[in-house]
Amino acid sequence: MAGIDIEGLATVYPNGVRAVDGLDLQVADGEFFALLGPSGCGKTTLLRTIAGLETATEGTVRIDAADVTRTDPGKRGVAMVFQDYALFPHMSVSENITYPLKVRRVAAATRASVASRTAGELSLDGLLERKPGQLSGGQQQRVALARAIASEGKVLLLDEPLSNLDARLRLEARTFLKKLQRDLGITTVFVTHDQAEALALADRIAVMESGKLRQLGSPREVFARPANTFVANFIGSTPMNLIPGRITEPVDQGDVVVSVAGGSLPATTFVAVADVEVTVGIRPEYLTLTTNDVSGPALRGTVLVAENLGTQSLVTVDCDGTLVGVTVPEEDEPAAGTAVTLTAPVSRVLLYDRETGELLT
């Protein structure tokens, strides 16, 4: 088992694209770590640079405290699962799983026992003699994982491991992967562009944009306190409301009232915010909708439309021209045109610098 230590890492392609642009991060021993970000943000390049399939232009990669920045991929002690699984079509499942051992000239009897043990761990019993073409997508994905695990790397690298599966299989495979990682305790880095997948699986998430790290934290941290408006926009199945506002009382820090279109919201800040134009961040799940009068800071508006999300509805309220989303239990869905009031607990209202987009609270 091993941790990964990345320092000042940059990977520049020959065409000049700085796909990874000055990154520092540490992955702890045994951690399940997600690289998350939109298409083109550099997450696959970072994974491939850790694996040694791309060459770092600047900085260092250490695995288990050893500097592997210039080490061949085969000698880094990493096992990688590719997005398309990269199975050998002419080999059986058993031969696919034990291929890395064959390359290392491990004896046939040992290989057979590793194949049967790993197949057991990954629920592939009974499929060892089949060819990849005779397997479902989910089974192929598990063979690719089995091959990576059987190679006994110190670190497991997964590039969008669930993206080739349909929605239902994907949920099943997600649970399976989480349990497997926990049981094996192997340090795992996985790439995904799916924020729900990262939130569900990872111990910690690195959110990337344009080759840079925008936030590093637990799923709870990145969901509840996005460090900037980029992360706020990216995380959450219903997007966070980001509303332009102005702090009305001339205070430096502490409890403040922010005036926004349609009314005001309470907030707390620990940095000097007097005379700062802000963006107020509030998740639809943390707003309360009522048709009653309320005292204290609140937003007033008219229901524009409601979308059914299953047990919840996402209601869009027009607050003086600014559209604000709020989730309500499906049975409480108000009709379009209803005049409503929205309130939020002070602990859930985030303030971002309007210019830089960085968190002020």
Applying CB under 6 A, the residues found at the interface with ligand ATP are 13, 15, 17, 19, 37, 39-45, 193
CA distance 198 to 195: 5
φ/ψ region of 243 (left if φ > 0, alpha if ψ in -120 to 50, else beta) reads: beta
The 3-class SS string of 96-110 reads HHHHHHHHCCCCHHH
Q: Which is nearer to ligand ATP, 47 or 119 (CB)?
A: 47
Please count the CA atoms within 13 angstroms of the CA of 43 that sit on its side-chain side: 27
Cβ nearer to ligand ATP, comparing 51 with 303: 51
Minimal distance in Å, beta carbon 151 to ligand ATP? 23
Q: Tell me the two tokens of residue 353.
A: 């610098």
Q: 194: helix, coil or strand? A: coil
- Which C-beta is closer to ligand ATP: that of 29 or that of 58? 58
Output the smallest distance, CB 208 to ligand ATP, in A. 7
For the chain, the C-alpha Rg in angstroms (whole number) is 25
Q: What's the chain's length in residues? A: 361
At residue 250, what is the residue type?
P
CA distance 243 to 322: 8
91 Cβ partners below 8 Å, 6+ apart?
Answer: 99, 131, 132
Residue 85 falls in which region: left (phi positive, over 0), alpha (psi -120 to 50) or beta: left
Q: How far is the CB of 160 from ligand ATP (least distance, A)?
A: 7
Q: Least distance (Å) from ligand ATP to the CB of residue 38?
A: 7
| Distance of closest approach, residue 157 Cβ to ligand ATP, in angstroms | 13
> In the complex, what is the shortest distance from the CB of residue 42 to ligand ATP, in angstroms, rounded to a whole number?
4
- Of 23 and 267, CB closest to ligand ATP: 23
Residue 158: count of CB within 10 angstroms of its CB? 27
Minimum CB separation from ligand ATP for residue 41, in Å? 4
Chain-centroid distance of CA 176 in Å reads 18
CB-nearer residue toward ligand ATP: 192 or 327: 192
Nearer to ligand ATP, 34 or 119 (CB): 34
CB of 71 to ligand ATP, least distance (A): 21
Which residue number places its CB atom closest to ligand ATP? 44
* Contacting residues for 183 by C-beta, under 8 A, at least 6 apart: 121
Taking alpha carbons only, the member of 149, 153, 212, 159 closest to residue 47 is 159
